[in-house]
Amino acid sequence: MPPIFFKQRMKRTKIAEILRTEPVNTEVVVKGWVKAFRNNQFIALNDGSCAANLQVVLDFENADPALVERIRFGAAIGARGLLVESQGKGQRVELKAAEITVYGDCDPEQFPLQPKKQSLEFLREHAHLRFRTNTFAAVFRVRHALAFAIHKFFNDRGFYYLHTPIITSSDAEGAGEMFRVTTLPLEKIPHTENGDIDFGQDFFKRPTNLTVSGQLEGELGALALGDIYTFGPTFRAENSNTTRHLAEFWMIEPEVAFADLTDNMDLAEAMLQYVCNYALEYCADDLKILEDRLVEEEKAKPQDQRSPMSLTDKLRFVVENQFERLTYTEAIEILKNSNPNKKGQFQYPIEGWGADLQSEHERYLVEKHFQKPVILTNYPAAIKAFYMRLDEPRAGVPGPTVSAMDILFPGIGEIVGGSQREERYAMLVEKMQAMHIPEAELDWYLDTRRFGSCPHAGFGLGFERLVQFVTGMGNIRDVIAFPRYPGSAEF
RNA sequence: GCCUCAUUAGCUCAGUUGGUUAGAGCGGCGGACUGUUAAUCCGUAGGUCCAAGGUUCAAGUCCUUGAUGAGGCGCCA
């Protein structure tokens, strides 16, 4: 059935604007999706512009029964009419419909969603429709706000947004397994005379992959533009099956010239506080929905496993309190003397200095010992990447360390990983040789250290982990529209 | 990749030591009501119990294998 267009063409007004300005006694047009149709009379209409619905009141006694029949949960409709003060409780204004248009019918027998609570797992399998739910609409509005806030934060501080390549020929970044990019025919891969794959016939005439990090290219930009940041998709072909890993995710990587590790920590902390505060300020309604959802979800858990703070309290806490900063060496001391370590409750007991921290250790520090975000610094050089700056030896520190920092958040774990970069050419080359990083492939990177090198620092922020923290969603697959993970690339 | 748990109606779930015809709420459909707030009330239909094999007089229930999902771990952001 073709839609009946409004005789009098009027621009539609977004529900967010109507509820903000409440233009009572004016005629408005709204268009959206039916969230509920009560009593053959009251339509709860949502157009995605905000969490709240607008109540559209139908004069059902004089309405065409064939039209009323089509007003179903999920249908796309338009309504023209006078905005009036609501007679009922629960909303201040409502729209007295003079005309209703059905744009898209929604057959309740076919439509997978229902006007009730549905499991996140079910909705994940219907990811193309889950935007229609209150929870996911809220998540994606918050996700947008956070992305915007990040751009605003950096732009306001004179950073340049640098677009680093998504296809890269460098496989020396050391940040994990990569996805190969090729146009070679997989059913008939060409080989050279000595039996190697003949990449000379490939599109780029060399092996290429999807990027695992824009950092090295970002450094090149920073060493001329001063302060840059990247914000783009990142790909890891790791077989990771957890609630905080994706094969395709978005990462923010600022890089700052003439900056040391402390500057780096200050920047990361200020940014995280800024964007959390932005969400509190601009996403109050959506955060309320997510907070209530979390409360419901936690009712199923035993008392001692429920989070002590509500979602917005948690965000306020991050905004208002300084992060705890301590060195790896200090953290090891705390962990060694901790109750769970003494009682043998850690799956991986703390033996001593030098071992990488497991997530149970990070969780203990963040959730039990400090109960606030923690920045760990100056890790052993042996467990960190080649480009991190070697520290001067310090008293009481058993081995060489680098100017690395990881920011750990409650419930999320590592949300930021960064470092001051090794700007000294000789030191960097020595490190690359020790770690078997092919110098020839990164000659362009080494040029920055040959010509006008300077101290600089940067970090990587996992955007989805940030969205998880702010929305309280437990699974990272629920904060990205169409998650990619091992065995899954649907939609 | 490893470990644990799950899979029963469209959705969320119950189903006792293996025992007759597998249940509920929501949703659907039919009707009533008409200022409702996931409206309410009455009626009604709806099932290859994930798949394949096995044990047994008898399997939704026990065993084996596989698939899918969830959580934890590792890798990391």
Tens-place pLDDT, residues A292-340 = 888 888 776 666 667 778 899 999 999 999 999 999 999 999 999 999 9
Of the candidates A143, A124, A134, which has an alpha carbon nearest to the alpha carbon of residue A467?
A143
Q: Could you tell me the distance in Å between the CA of residue A315 and the C1' of nucleotide B42?
A: 49
Q: Could you tell me the distance in Å between the CA of residue A185 and the C1' of nucleotide B16?
A: 60
- Tell me the average pLDDT across A177-201: 92
Report residues 331-350 of A contacting strand B, contact meaning Cβ closer than 7 Å: 347-348
What pLDDT is attached to residue A438?
Answer: 86
What pLDDT is attached to residue A173?
Answer: 60
Q: Could you tell me the distance in Å between the CA of residue A122 and the C1' of nucleotide B62?
A: 30
> Is the Cβ atom of A131 within 7 Å of strand B at any atom?
no
| pLDDT-derived band at A264, boundaries 50, 70, 90 | very high
Report residues 361-400 of A contacting strand B, contact meaning Cβ closer than 7 Å: 363
Contact A246, A116 (CB under 8 A): no
pLDDT over 60 (residue A2): no
> Is the Cβ atom of A244 within 7 Å of strand B at any atom?
yes
| pLDDT-derived band at A382, boundaries 50, 70, 90 | very high
pLDDT over 70 (residue A172): no
Closest residue to B11 (CA, C1′): A118
What pLDDT is attached to residue A119?
Answer: 87
> Is the Cβ atom of A322 within 7 Å of strand B at any atom?
no
What pLDDT is attached to residue A8?
Answer: 54
pLDDT over 80 (residue A206): yes
Tens-place pLDDT, residues A60-116 = 888 888 888 899 999 999 999 999 999 988 899 999 999 999 999 898 888 888 888
What pLDDT is attached to residue A200?
Answer: 94
Report residues 205-234 of A contacting strand B, contact meaning Cβ closer than 7 Å: 213
Task: For tokens 């959206």, name the residue.
Answer: A32
Tens-place pLDDT, residues A390-421 = 999 999 999 999 999 999 998 888 999 999 99
- pTM for this entry: 0.94
Nucleotide nearest to A89 (CA to C1'): B37
Nucleotide nearest to A413 (CA to C1'): B77
Positions of chain B reached by protein Cβ under 7 A: 1-2, 10-13, 26-29, 33-39, 68-77
What's the mean per-residue pLDDT of chain A?
A: 91
What pLDDT is attached to residue A9?
Answer: 61
